[in-house]
């Protein structure tokens, strides 16, 4: 049975929005919570409105080339074209550019945190779309890191031999790695660019990062529910051991 939703008609501030109450709450808490609840309802609507605009976005340009990546399958390195990352019947491909270049001593801790979570979701996503994670390091180095992290479900590919990262803004012309999510669509037999998290390139709000992929990153969304919040100086680490 679906939960009742708040009416789209604005109720007077004094009118109860729903019947649920929590132990020990007082009128001041409930009044403040109702105000916040109205803001959350408004945010939910705006999130869906933006998502609807994203779905209506016209398709972008076709691939300048059918990039050839490397991946490890059955313990062997094999080449795979970007067009071959589309499974039959699935016309959408999401590719996350993982900041782990060949000259980086360690993988990006923030990318790693996000991919730790995405690895768990990958099996669910595979029911609807294609998903791949690309990094500029050699494929053996990527796989070794993934094995140490315990990743089991992500499709990992190396762009060490092509220009995908620079063409689709996962890397600067100077070789610095960028955390970009690109979405491609197979349309009438051609692969075309559909979307990228370009918020990365917009000026950030004061005290905030770009937040361009935060909607797929459980870490920050859970912290947003707490009184402590995200904070302004804490970031995830690669490990928390001694």
122 and 52 within one domain:
no
Would you say residue 24 has pLDDT above 80? yes
The pLDDT of residue 12:
59
Same domain, 31 and 134: no
Give the total residue count for the chain. Answer: 242
User: What confidence category does residue 242 fall into, taking pLDDT thresholds of 50, 70 and 90?
Assistant: low
Residue 117 has phi, psi (to 5 degrees) of: -75, -40
Tally of structural domains, the chain: 2
Q: What is the mean pLDDT of residues 142-154?
A: 97
Residue 92 sits in the same domain as residue 189 = yes
Q: Is the pLDDT of residue 9 over 60?
A: no
Question: For 90-94, 95-99, 208-212, which range has the lowest pLDDT when averaged over its residues?
Answer: 208-212
Q: For 112-138, what is the mean pLDDT?
A: 98
Query: What per-residue confidence (pLDDT) applies to 173?
Result: 95
- Tell the residue number behind the tokens 């012309």, with chain if given: 173
Q: Is residue 152 part of a domain?
A: yes
Q: What is the pTM of this model?
A: 0.90
Evaluate whether residue 216 is within a structural domain.
Answer: no
- Domain match, 82 and 163 both: yes
Instruction: Name the token pair of 102.
Output: 């060949």
Q: Taking residues 10-23, what's their average pLDDT?
A: 80
Confirm whether 17 is domain-assigned: no
- Tokens (6 digits) for 205: 């709000």
- Cα–Cα dist 24/27, whole Å: 10
For residue 16, name the pLDDT band (cuts at 50, 70, 90): confident
Q: Give domain status of residue 47, yes or no.
A: yes
In a domain, residue 228? The reply is: no
pLDDT at 215 over 60: yes
What distances in angstroms separate CA 160 from CA 165, 176, 191, one per listed residue? 9, 14, 21
**Listed residues 34, 56, 78: the one ending a domain:** 56
> Which H helix or E strand runs over 117?
helix 109-125
Q: State percent of the chain over pLDDT 70.
A: 94
**Whole-angstrom distance, CA of residue 178 vs CA of residue 149:** 21
* Tokens describing residue 139: 């494929």
Confidence of residue 13 (pLDDT cuts 50, 70, 90): low
Angle, helices 139-149/109-125, rounded to nearest 10 degrees = 80
State the DSSP string of 136-176. SS-HHHHHHHHHHHT--S--EEE-TTSSHHHHTTSB-TTS-
The answer on pLDDT for 7 being more than 90 is no
Q: Are residues 192 and 80 in the same domain?
A: yes
| Per-residue pLDDT, 1 | 44
* Percent above pLDDT 90 for the chain: 88
What range defines the domain where residue 42 resides? 26-56
- What are the φ and ψ backbone dihedral angles of 62, each rounded to 5 degrees? -70, 165
Tokens of 181: 């999510």
Mean model confidence pLDDT for the chain:
93
pLDDT tens string 27-81: 999 999 999 999 999 999 999 999 999 999 999 999 999 999 999 999 999 999 9
CATH classification of the domain holding 188: 3.40.30.10
- Tokens for 73, please give them: 């399958």
**Are 160 and 97 within one domain?**
yes
For 22, phi and psi rounded to 5 degrees? -115, 150
Give the pLDDT score at 10: 59
Distance CA 133, CA 164 (A): 12
- In this predicted structure, the answer to whether residue 100 has a pLDDT above a threshold of 90 is yes
* Measured torsion, CA atoms of residues 153, 155, 160, 163, in degrees rounded to the nearest 10: -140
Centroid of chain to Cα 204: 18
């Amino acid at each position: 049975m679906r939960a009742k939703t708040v009416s789209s008609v604005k109720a007077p501030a004094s009118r109860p929005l729903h019947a649920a109450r929590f132990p020990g709450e007082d009128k001041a808490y409930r009044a403040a919570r109702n105000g916040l609840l109205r803001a959350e309802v408004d945010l939910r609507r705006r999130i869906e409105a933006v998502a609807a605009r994203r779905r209506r976005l016209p398709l972008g340009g076709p691939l300048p080339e059918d990039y050839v990546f490397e991946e490890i399958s059955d313990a062997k390195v094999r080449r795979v074209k970007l067009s071959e990352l589309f499974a039959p019947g699935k016309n959408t491909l999401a590719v996350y550019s993982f900041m782990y270049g060949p000259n980086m001593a360690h993988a990006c801790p923030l990318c790693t945190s996000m991919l730790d979570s995405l690895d768990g979701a990958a099996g669910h996503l595979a029911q609807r779309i294609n998903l791949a994670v690309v990094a500029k390091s050699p494929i053996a180095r990527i796989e070794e890191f993934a094995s140490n992290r315990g990743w089991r479900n992500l499709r990992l590919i190396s762009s060490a031999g092509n220009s995908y990262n620079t063409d689709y803004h996962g890397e600067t012309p100077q070789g610095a790695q960028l955390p970009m999510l690109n979405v491609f669509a197979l349309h009438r037999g051609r692969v075309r660019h559909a979307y990228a998290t370009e918020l990365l390139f917009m000026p950030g709000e004061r005290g905030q990062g770009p937040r361009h992929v935060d909607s797929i990153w459980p870490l920050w969304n859970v912290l947003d529910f707490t009184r402590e919040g995200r904070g302004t100086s804490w970031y995830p680490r690669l490990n928390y051991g001694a």
